[in-house]
Amino acid sequence: MGVLKVRVDVEKCIGAGHCVLRAPRVFDQRDDGIVILLDDSPVRELREAVHKAADLCPSQAITIEEIP
Amino acid sequence: MTLDVPAPRFPFRRVDPLQPPSQYARARATQPIVPVSLWNGRRAWLVTRYDDVRSVVTDARFSGEFANPDFPSVTEARVVVDKTERAFVGMDNPRHDHYRRMFTKEFSTRRMIALRPKMAAIANRLIDELMAQPQPADLVATLAVPFPSLVMCDLVGSPYEDHRFIIECAAGRHGLLQTPAQAAQKARELADYFMRLIRRKEEAPADDLVSRVIEEHVRPGNLSREDFAEIGAMILRAGHDTTTNMIGLGTLILLNHPEQAAALRDEPELVPGAVEELLRYVSPVQFSPRRVAMEDVAIGDVVIRKGEGVFALNPAANRDPSAFPDPDRFDVRRDASHHVAFGFGIHQCLGQILARMELQVVFPLLFQRLPNLRVAATEGEIRFKDDMQIYGVHNLPVAW
């Protein structure tokens, strides 16, 4: 299994907050509710949580690249 | 498909009050995007599959502008309130994000998690009051209505004694039976109420949503008082009505599955997942999300014409077996977190983390403190909200 590369699009983010609930070590919210990426290369144990966060994001502001 | 068969009238009646109308499952299996006719005789489309619902509400060819003259609605009264809706729930981007972002901070995940102790204190007090009542008592009146109201009033800064008025305005606007004039009147009254609240907080600010938004957005000139009053009315309505219905109907469903209620009570780690399953199963915002096609759009084997309305039905998507195996089975242990009970796309519920926290707090407390809780209703005594756009129960007689 390779490395995860996570990107967030603050322009798309509507602050729904799923990502913070799912993967609080990877995502946070700024004071105004918009996403902050805490860790763009999360460890493999967080892979499932990060994918879940991306799937649940209603404004599709999270993209994940799996680098082999 | 045959177009000479007249499209059935929407909305449908439920046969089983605890299940979505049976037409949804039939459509999903045979013709997942199906035409219906609305109160005014116009054709609209129901989208019943999970993947299609998510793709429609994230497709810019479908507009969520309530002001669009072709925007679909379930009643004539709803057209009137849609046309006067000035909150971002009825706007496309970029206007939607512009306004919504002034409020995301107020409903951020960490802020909502921090409210949990306060929510628990409110719930415990209401359960005390419930336990002091003669049995059977109505769980809706004693807990499902006041709990989210008290949380909301505290968050927003509106006096709790006003909550009956707020609920009455929400019900008057969200009913299925009232006249357009009645609905417009209730929508107006609530926005006027919120305007008075803004004026009061300008005079005497406190630690609440209204005071903070005044300071951060109204005073600097980013947000007019009139727009804030409309958005505020929407927040009040949404915060009182929906969680109430989740608590009322959710409790009934849990009481129908006593072993699962016991698991929820005894295994705290099950609680967040159980709340997602309840949201999926109940899907109280039953005629949403709505869109109107801005151009001809082909989905599957149908073409939705420019100007036609679409109901991307979240109760139908949430029972799609391709997304939720054995979807009619209620199971607090399943992963239901990808449900669309709060909608999907940019309009997904602003208060969803608040609602989740409220439900995660209230259900375990209720079943821990009243381990013998049971329905105490005679046949037909529970009145289901067949007369409302937001589904639930009007009453739930319980004993313990």
* Model pLDDT for residues B83-98, shown as the tens digit of each residue: 888 899 999 999 999 9
Residue type, B5: V
Tell me what pLDDT residue A68 has.
85
Helix axes B225-256, B146-156, angle to 10 degrees: 150
Residue type, B315: P
Contact of B389 with B175, CB cutoff 8 Å = yes
User: What is the pLDDT confidence band of residue B207, given thresholds at 50, 70 and 90?
Assistant: very high
**Cα of B118 to nearest chain A Cα, Å:** 19
pLDDT at B2 over 60: no
pLDDT at B106 over 70: yes
Tokens of B67: 């002001």
Residue type, B236: L
A51 touches chain B (CB under 8 A): no
Tell me what pLDDT residue B171 has.
87
Pairs across A and B, CB distance < 8 A: 57
- pLDDT per position as a tens digit, B161-197: 998 899 899 888 888 998 999 999 999 999 999 999 9
With beta carbons under 8 A apart, name residues in chain B contacting A57: none
Containing structural domain, residue B196 = 22-399
CATH of the domain at B168: 1.10.630.10
With beta carbons under 8 A apart, name residues in chain B contacting A33: 101, 104-108
pLDDT at B138 over 60: yes
- pLDDT per position as a tens digit, B330-344: 999 999 999 999 999
Would you say the pTM of this structure is higher than 0.90? yes
Contacts of A8 (CB under 8 A, 6+ apart): A27, A35, A36, A37, A61, A62, A63
User: What is the pLDDT confidence band of residue B3, given thresholds at 50, 70 and 90?
Assistant: low
Tokens of B71: 């925007």
Report CA Rg, chain B: 21
CB-based burial, B130-165: b 16+ in 10 Å, e otherwise: beeeeebbbbbebbbbbbbbbbbbbbbbbeeeebee
A48 touches chain B (CB under 8 A): no
* Whole-number Å distance between alpha carbons of B231 and B210: 11
B13 touches chain A (CB under 8 A): no
Q: How far out from the chain centre does Cα B390 lie?
A: 6
- pLDDT per position as a tens digit, B353-385: 999 999 999 999 999 999 999 999 988 999 999
B179 touches chain A (CB under 8 A): no
Tokens of B81: 């309130």
Tell me what pLDDT residue B308 has.
97
Contact of B310 with B292, CB cutoff 8 Å = yes
pLDDT at B301 over 90: no
What's the whole-number mean pLDDT along residues B147-153?
95
Tell me what pLDDT residue B108 has.
93
Task: Write out chain A's pLDDT in tens, 68 residues.
Answer: 678 999 999 999 999 999 999 999 999 999 899 999 999 999 999 999 999 999 999 999 999 999 88
Contact of B253 with B278, CB cutoff 8 Å = yes
With beta carbons under 8 A apart, name residues in chain A contacting B356: 21
* Whole-number Å distance between alpha carbons of B47 and B66: 19
B182: alpha, beta or left, given left = phi > 0 and alpha = psi -120 to 50?
alpha
Contacts of B81 (CB under 8 A, 6+ apart): B173, B183, B184, B187
Tell me what pLDDT residue A1 has.
63
- DSSP one-letter code for B12: P
Angle (CA) B367-B280-A54 rounded to 5° is 115
Q: Could you write out the DSSP letters of every residue in B304-334?
A: EPTT-EEEE-HHHHTT-TTTSSSTTS--TTS
What's the whole-number mean pLDDT along residues B111-138?
97
Q: What percent of chain B has pLDDT over 70?
A: 99
| Mean pLDDT of chain B, nearest integer | 95
Q: What percent of chain B has pLDDT over 90?
A: 91
- What is the tally of structural domains in chain B? 1
Model ipTM value: 0.94
- Closest residue of chain A to B350, computed from CA coordinates: A16
Contacts of B116 (CB under 8 A, 6+ apart): B357, B360, B361
- DSSP one-letter code for B144: I
Tell me what pLDDT residue B5 has.
65
Q: Judge whether B227 lies within some domain.
A: yes
What's the whole-number mean pLDDT along residues B222-234?
96
Contact of B264 with B367, CB cutoff 8 Å = yes
- pLDDT per position as a tens digit, B67-79: 999 999 999 999 9
CB-based burial, B258-292: b 16+ in 10 Å, e otherwise: eebbebbbeeeebbebbbbbbbbbbbbbbbbbbbb
Q: Look at the domain A3-67 and name its fold.
A: Alpha-Beta Plaits (3.30.70)
Tell me what pLDDT residue B4 has.
57
Contacts of B269 (CB under 8 A, 6+ apart): none
- Closest residue of chain A to B55, computed from CA coordinates: A58
Angle (CA) B222-B224-B225 rounded to 5° is 135
Strand, coil or helix: A66: strand
Tokens of A5: 């590369």
Tell me what pLDDT residue B324 has.
98
Q: Say yes or no for a CB contact (<8 Å) between A33 and B348.
A: no
Phi, psi of B327 (to 5 degrees): -65, -25
**Cα of A24 to nearest chain B Cα, Å:** 10
Q: Say yes or no for a CB contact (<8 Å) between B107 and A29.
A: no
Tokens of B326: 């054995």
Q: Which residues, numbered 12 to 41 in chain A, qualify as contacts with chain B under a Cβ-Cβ cut-off of 8 Å?
A: 14-17, 20-21, 28-29, 31-34
Residue from the list B108, B338, B346 with its beta carbon closest to the beta carbon of A33? B108
A4: β partners: A66
